Chains A and B, each alone.
Chain A
Amino acid sequence: QKEVEQNSGPLSVPEGAIASLNCTYSDRGSQSFFWYRQYSGKSPELIMFIYSNGDKEDGRFTAQLNKASQYVSLLIRDSQPSDSATYLCAVYGSSNTGKLIFGQGTTLQVKP
């Protein structure tokens, strides 16, 4: 079983729609969860992080965490073509070795 699992996509949504990106993880002791966005040919950039169960909103982005189900998601409201990118889910493990584990990423395409 992969430590952090994402559907590689591509996920295609029309402009203005809600894009829903999902991620599951295997380490039940994981403490913190991150979403990075990576445009083609660029490096990843942090867009959201969440530590507690529930929802966390930042502008058009909402991160959702359910530790019991070992599930984290990212919702993008009013999707724009500029949101087209690969979204990487990352999980900080329960040990103190500084190990941030990334998923493979989901490619999102927002069509005008």
Chain B
Amino acid sequence: ETGVTQTPRHLVMGMTNKKSLKCEQHLGHNAMYWYKQSAKKPLELMFVYSLEERVENNSVPSRFSPECPNSSHLFLHLHTLQPEDSALYLCASSIRGDGELFFGEGSRLTVL
């Protein structure tokens, strides 16, 4: 596989469920990101990891919990989400930790 791969592509969960989104990059990049994309709103940066260390936590509610076990993998653990958390969650990576991002195809999350 090449590029940035996200699974699952679609997820429906209830407010009491616990689920995880997975991202894997095969580009040898040093930085990985989670972004949230909601309708009619700009892309919102959630978390940044550089060399497996979290360098940005953009005031994200604690019901979202990131994990970066190594430079190729990034997870977003979800628990007790709200309907307003329904959105497209995009993972991205970059080689230098700057603005040249490579995005995965996204995980479309629906919270019932």
Say yes or no: A34 contacts B42, CB within 8 Å: no
Those of B37-73 within 8 Å (CB) of chain A = 40-43, 45, 48, 50, 55-56, 58
B residues near A97, Cβ cutoff 8 Å: 48, 55-56
Residue of A nearest to B44 (CB): A102
A residues near B106, Cβ cutoff 8 Å: 43
Residue of B nearest to A43 (CB): B103
Say yes or no: B48 contacts A103, CB within 8 Å: no
- A92 and B97 CA atoms in complex are apart in Å by 10
Interface string of A23-53 (1 = CB under 8 A from B): 0000000001110100000111110010000
Task: For B56, give its contact among A90, A99, A104 (CB under 8 Å).
Answer: A99
Determine if B105 is an interface residue (Cβ-Cβ < 8 Å): yes
Q: A4-B42, A43-B90 are in contact. Are A100 and B56 (CB under 8 A)?
A: no
- A88 and B101 CA atoms in complex are apart in Å by 13
Rounded to whole Å, the gap between the CB of B48 and the closest CB of chain A is 4
Task: For A92, give its contact among B48, B50, B99, B104 (CB under 8 Å).
Answer: B99
Residue of A nearest to B47 (CB): A98
Residue of A nearest to B43 (CB): A102
A residues near B103, Cβ cutoff 8 Å: 43-45
5 extra A-B contacts, CB within 8 A, seeds A92-B98, A98-B55, A103-B42: A43-B103, A99-B45, A99-B56, A101-B45, A104-B40
B contact set with A: CB distance below 8 Å: 31, 33, 40-43, 45, 48, 50, 55-56, 58, 90, 97-106
A contact set with B: CB distance below 8 Å: 4, 8, 32-34, 36, 42-46, 49, 88, 90-92, 97-105
21 contacts between A and B (CB under 8 A): A4-B42, A33-B99, A34-B99, A34-B100, A43-B104, A43-B106, A44-B101, A45-B103, A49-B100, A88-B42, A88-B43, A92-B98, A97-B55, A98-B97, A98-B98, A99-B58, A101-B42, A101-B45, A102-B43, A104-B42, A105-B42
